Amino acid sequence: MNGTAWNIGAMPQVQLPIFPAGTTHITQELAFEQRDGEVVYFNGHLPVFTHAAKDLGSFRLYTSQLILNGTASQGEIVRAFGVPLVTVKRSVKRLRQSGAEAFFRPAARRSGSKLTPERLAQCQGLLDQGQSVPQISEQSGVKRSTLHKAIDQGRLKQAVKKKALRKASGRRSRR
């Protein structure tokens, strides 16, 4: 037989899902293994991607790519890695909306919305007048815990009360 006649009726070669020992299956074709602080992903017996075990950004990026490419389902990722479905959905949404770089930028820091510089000045003025934290909380709409936190961090200065000074020095007041 010549080469052409042989190939016409031949069946295409199917890659057997043979994985290295110790791997965990994601799908019939995909598996992963964690070794020496690295996670290695396999397609059959071939390694296709690797990242550090603690590299959450790379993990989320790669598993989201598997889902968006149709290589694995969200459920398969959840079962294989034991992660919450909502986390997988958020990662896929992040990849769709912002691309791969979204997994590697530092998280945006939120500034306090209640204690703006103006409100800090207002609360400091009330503290200077001798008002208590509960009174200031009611007037300003800022929670007591937020005011106490600002005092503890030194952003607000609370006047030391005479009673507290007397206790600290060991003297008692005369009545």
Q: Spell out the domain ranges in the chain.
A: 15-103, 117-156
pTM, 2 dp: 0.57
Q: Given a cut of 50, is residue 117 above it in pLDDT?
A: yes
Instruction: For residues 20-45, give the mean pLDDT.
Output: 92
pLDDT interval class at 175 (50, 70, 90): very low
pLDDT of residue 169: 55
Mapping DSSP onto H, E and C, the string for the chain reads: CCHHHHHHCCCCCCCCCCCCCCCEECCCCEEEEEECCEEEEEECCEEEEEEECCCHHHHHHHHHHHHHCCCCCHHHHHHHHCCCHHHHHHHHHHHHHHCHHHHCCCCCCCCCCCCCHHHHHHHHHHHHCCCCHHHHHHHHCCCHHHHHHHHHHCCCCCCCCHHHHHHHHCCCCCC
pLDDT of residue 141: 86
